Amino acid sequence: MKKAILYINQFFGQIGGEDKAGIEPEIHEEHIGPALQFAKTLHAEITHTVICGDNYMGTNTDAAVETILGMLKDKEFDIFLAGPAFQAGRYGVACGTICKAVKEEFHVPVVTSMNEENPGVDMFKKEMYILQGGNIASKMRKDVTAMVNVANKILDGLPVGSASEDGYFPRGIRHMVWLKDKKPASERMVDMLVKKLNGLPFETELPIPKLDRVPIAPAVKDLTKAKIALLNTGGIVPVDNPDRIQSASATRWGRYDIADTTALKGGEYKTIHAGFDPAAADADPNVITPVDALKVLEKEGFFGRLHPYFYTTVGTGTTEAEARRMAREIVPYLEEDQVDACIMVST
């Protein structure tokens, strides 16, 4: 029987949450977490489950990859699976990173799954099959089924269908195929043209990706006279979180007065971000929102003036659509104060 190995993070590996996100890679000869669901229908035996903390993979990527590849060096496997990663950005990037490394090192097929909002999709979709997954863990059963469908075709030596047929993100690869209706391209083209001229719906055979290109802002001409605003996606808020900003998948943002503040103090401010260990940010909120450093630079004349408010939301799981909406709501405040540049602190 063919063999498979599964990669998951510390949460789905049943080790812990953010408090265990820094764990180094481990390998187990047993079915853990999603491996139990995969094993029900996968045409291969899952011999090992690899677990690694999302933070460790993100901050020690080379070491994590080297360690995992070393763990797999003496293992026999025909396919490598990772995830599903849903909308969890760090997890998605980790799945893509290790899948790419395993594919290049051992020349075996790799399959993973992510939500369309996961940054790992754009980073790795051309490198591997990434199934279009759900946004939360409750979609696990459906996402595993989709991954198994593609994995089984690969294991059984059957052709994987198109992206639209088998539900993975397009990889930019086009194949010559015979259509069932055997209609030549000239007729199909005329049919589409007629539909277009008559305002009827049609589906192009060559979809052009829509790229969200943001023009580069012009350089600040004179920093010593510039007004600077501070924004962050690290969830720094007053301890009572007055705007009720969500810890993940945010749809709200906050604006907080720092006109007479020289530094943010722990106990007065905290982070409500669910995507990282909050201990350091709770103890010193300036590590995410560096009001202290900017106040010093302002006093020294390094730049003209600091905007009297900082703006905050949470980035983890937040969709692009919501981020755009929140930005459009924040911008008028910056324009009103004639802000010349913004510092956006991420996590």
Closest CA to 290 of 314, 269, 274: 269
* pLDDT, average across residues 171-196: 86
Task: Give me the half-sphere count of Cα atoms (radius 13 Å) on the Cβ side of residue 191.
Answer: 11
Contact (Cβ atoms closer than 8 angstroms) between residue 76 and residue 34: no
User: 61 Cβ partners below 8 Å, 6+ apart?
Assistant: 97
pLDDT at res. 208: 74
Structure tokens at 289: 């929102």
Q: Considering only 116-125, 201-210, 324-333, which range has the smallest mean pLDDT?
A: 201-210
Structure tokens at 76: 């026999």
**Higher pLDDT among residues 19 and 269, named by residue:** 269
pLDDT tens-digit readout, 68-84: 999 999 999 999 999 89
pLDDT tens-digit readout, 153-167: 999 999 998 888 899
* pLDDT, average across residues 178-193: 88
pLDDT at res. 149: 96
Contact (Cβ atoms closer than 8 angstroms) between residue 332 and residue 339: no
pLDDT tens-digit readout, 93-113: 999 999 999 999 999 999 999
Alpha helices in the chain (DSSP H): 35-41, 54-59, 61-72, 89-106, 119-124, 140-155, 163-166, 185-197, 279-283, 291-299, 320-336
* pLDDT, average across residues 330-342: 95
pLDDT at res. 150: 97
In angstroms, the CA 335 to CA 312 distance is: 17
pLDDT at res. 84: 96
pLDDT at res. 87: 87
pLDDT tops 80 at residue 297: yes
What letters, b where the CB count within 10 A reaches 16 and e where it falls short, cover 129-165? Answer: bbbbbbbeeebbeebbebbbbbbebbbeeeebeebee
pLDDT at res. 156: 95
pLDDT tops 80 at residue 140: yes
pLDDT at res. 320: 79
**pLDDT band (50, 70, 90) for residue 203:** confident
In angstroms, the CA 284 to CA 264 distance is: 7
* pLDDT, average across residues 22-49: 95
pLDDT at res. 319: 77
Kindly state the DSSP code that residue 19 receives in the 8-state scheme: G
**pLDDT band (50, 70, 90) for residue 248:** confident
pLDDT tops 90 at residue 315: no
